[in-house]
Amino acid sequence: MRAHEAGALHAEGYRGPVWLETPGDVNALVPSLWASSVGRGEDGALTVAGVSVVDLAREFGTPAYVLDEGDFRSRAREFKQTYADVFDELCGGADVFYAGKAFLCTQVARWIRDEGLFLDVCTGGELAVAMRAGVPGSSIGMHGNNKSVSEIRTALEYGISRIIVDSFAEIERVSAVAGELGVVAPVLVRVTVGVEAHTHEFIATAHEDQKFGFSLAGGRALEAVREILARPQTLHLLGLHSHIGSQIFDTSGFEVSARRVLGLHLEVAREFGVELPELDLGGGFGIAYTTEHDPQSPKALAAGMAEIVERECRADGVAVPRISIEPGRAIAGPSTFTLYEVGTVKPVELGGGASRLYVSVDGGMSDNVRTALYDADYSCTLANRRSDAAPVLARVVGKHCESGDIVVMDEFLPDDVGPGDLIAVPGTGAYCRSLSSQYNHTPRPPVIAVRDGVGRVIVRRETIDDLLALDV
């Protein structure tokens, strides 16, 4: 446990984490951290899809989430096409469900629809966005460990393609609603396979001591299958679902997970004479937030997962089921950066001859809580100009009344950074807007989509009137 919300602030001689190297050029951009169209213009200012961030800040204000629409769409297409190609000979292709929890708004739902992906939602609110965007029910799946009767009814009335059931109570609930509506609900069983992704404890979701799914080790998953198969008038079992966590950088976790869930797939075939047609291996594919991270490409992920699934099915003597995956962060994350304006700059002595520059910006944990919530690391760069000043160890912090209100724990910025400068933090497209709040009564930033030299608002900035609107 950390002794102080601000981390190793008082460590003697602190020079930042071991992976953070002093840059030879403090203006250089690491391509893996940014959307494909991001670069620097002749004046040194950051540009995205041909638009200067100086112009974006002038037109839309700061802070703002700046989304490269072309980058978002291309990542979605790459997942769809790559997995279709790799799994084509094995099982006729694969289905890609964009995980809407990463970031969802009406326009993003339309992009997902237009690019031919499916959409995964986990609340009635996310389903309402999908419906408003015109995403057909046949292209929607629904997660959630505690779906209400109202949410289930809306989902079934809209004709969604699958409900991932998470408990015996939910099996009863879905069956009852389906019976009332006179429909047969398509379901998958979420299986807790006992594999923990190498990630933060609170976002590793396949170990046993957590709220999701039916335990494989305790026999609960097989019992859930039995319960569903006993209700053919109201429930249709499509297959099994497994999700092992987030920020996964290789397929080793999927290998153990697939082996175990396919073992259940075989057990179902032997005991009930049913070869389930589908297997959803979830999402959690990692992205680069800093130079520490080295994510695999969709092509490498698909090839690795296909090899694992084919090998296990061949060993068990069963046909390869149709595969589904659920990327969210890997599509939305790198497509977006957050643009801030610097307000206060303050050097702090750390002891042992070391110091850190505290750079305060006009946002903070209300627009990116992941640093405080998960100890997440981010990078950043001076965005409005090029600097010839020496790099200095900096910490980018927000404006909220919390010592843990940190946006970027450690980064090198030019030592002439000052009030009025713009700072851009890459990799903020996933979970930053989704987890945002109005803490300290701070209006949430807009989302600005940029494409072909034009920026436009797809989620508007909140106003003080919005903050006061719910007060009675």
Q: So which residues are the catalytic ones?
A: 401
How far apart CA 469 and CA 117 sit, in angstroms, is 36
In 3D, which of 23, 77, 9, 63 has the Cα closest to residue 335? 77
| 217-to-194, 239, 315 alpha-carbon distances in Å | 8, 18, 21
Q: Are 265 and 240 within 8 A, CB to CB?
A: yes
Tokens of 1: 């446990």
Residue 76: exposed, middle, or buried by beta-carbon count in 10 A (0-12, 13-18, 19+)?
Answer: buried
Kindly give the residue spans of alpha helices, DSSP state H, lying in 206-361. 220-229, 252-272, 298-316, 329-332
Q: Which amino acid is it at 62?
A: T
Q: Within a 10 A sphere around the Cβ of 277, how many other Cβ atoms?
A: 12
The helix or strand, by DSSP H or E, that contains position 275, with its residue range, turns out to be: none
DSSP 3-state of 361: strand
Kindly give the residue spans of alpha helices, DSSP state H, lying in 324-386. 329-332, 370-374
Tokens of 94: 């694969």
Pairing of strands 46-48, 39-40: antiparallel
How far apart CA 308 and CA 373 sit, in angstroms, is 33
Q: Are 299 and 31 within 8 A, CB to CB?
A: no
Q: Within a 10 A sphere around the Cβ of 122, how many other Cβ atoms?
A: 18
